[in-house]
Amino acid sequence: MKPSRKIEDFLRVMAALRTPVTGCPWDLRQDFASIVSFTIEEAYEVADAIERADLVDLKDELGDLLLQVVFHSRMAEEQGAFDFGDVVLAITTKMIRRHPHVFGDAGKLPESEVNRIWAEIKAQEKAERRQARAAQGLPDDSPVRLLDSVPTALPGLTRAMKLQQKASTVGFDWNDARMVLKKIREETAEIEEALERGEQAAIKDEIGDLLFAVVNLARHTDVDPESAVRGTNEKFMQRFAYIEDQLKARGRSLDAASLEEMDALWNDAKSVAR
């Protein structure tokens, strides 16, 4: 089997990997649950390539993410549930349906109207999905409460933002970012109190509240918290690498350096970054 630009050939590669006896033992051993962590990881690696503006890596990472879609689709096909073509049909149908201003006769619309139509069509799709599940004898998986629709498997910061966004749709929100900043100060004071008491459970709880409040501030200032913390992680790595390189140039190791020495180099790294 030779490499190809055709998706059909890639589907055959996946089918060969999953073929009993002649396929790959590792691939044959997998199920939906066992590869879900890889699916999430590949999505993050796509995000990382985008953050680094590395289009060479992005091509490879998108391929790895596509592999996850094809892998899940192949396992579903083996169970007679759906195949890759059904996945493509479903998303194509959804995109055409949700964009009547592009594919229908609605014509050019302001963005506010486009968003209204999008939300209306999504509600219709959910109703149809409930009917389809009922017709197949499947339980109704519709959210009972407002926040039930926010997936629990999302990264913590992202889920916090989604929960806040949902709550804000019914007016449960601050209308001023400075009020959120005040809340952050309150949470830091509560962490101090918990530290003084030495109550580990309370410290954990208050730190969680602080992180939730910081996400709220990010949301009110149109900042993606996951992107922000990734940027800070990268900045930390670069500055720490500067410390390590400078010490190495002086013939010293990290273990041998004092905190004061490393702190001074950290401040130098901040100046170099500017």
| Residue 263 and residue 202 share a domain | no
| Residue 170 and residue 66 share a domain | no
pTM for the whole structure: 0.72
pLDDT digits 0-9 by tens, 230-251: 889 999 999 999 999 999 999 9
Give the pLDDT of the chain (274 residues) as one tens digit per residue: 889 999 999 999 999 999 999 999 999 999 999 999 999 999 989 988 998 899 999 999 999 999 999 999 999 999 999 999 999 999 999 999 999 989 988 788 888 989 899 889 988 988 888 888 888 888 887 778 899 989 888 889 999 999 999 999 999 999 999 999 999 999 999 999 999 999 999 999 999 999 999 999 999 999 999 989 988 999 999 999 999 999 999 999 999 999 999 999 999 999 886 5
> Would you say 225 and 181 are in contact if contact means Cβ atoms under 8 Å apart?
no
CATH for 179: 1.10.287.1080
Out of 114, 144, 174, a domain closes at 144
| Residue 134 and residue 22 share a domain | yes
| Residue 60 and residue 132 share a domain | yes
| Residue 93 and residue 178 share a domain | no
Q: Is residue 2 situated within a structural domain?
A: no
Using the structure block, give the residue that is written with the tokens 């629709």. 149
Q: Is residue 113 situated within a structural domain?
A: yes
10 Å CB burial of residue 121 (0-12, 13-18, 19+) is middle
pLDDT digits 0-9 by tens, 3-37: 999 999 999 999 999 999 999 999 999 999 999 99
| Residue 247 and residue 118 share a domain | no
| Residue 15 and residue 119 share a domain | yes
Q: How far apart are CA 44 and CA 37, in angstroms?
A: 11
| Residue 84 and residue 210 share a domain | no
DSSP letter at 9 equals H
CA atoms within 13 A on the CB side of 152: 2
**Domain that residue 211 falls in:** 156-223
| Residue 166 and residue 110 share a domain | no
Q: How far apart are CA 176 and CA 194, in angstroms?
A: 28
| Residue 122 and residue 39 share a domain | yes
Q: How far apart are CA 2 and CA 42, in angstroms?
A: 24
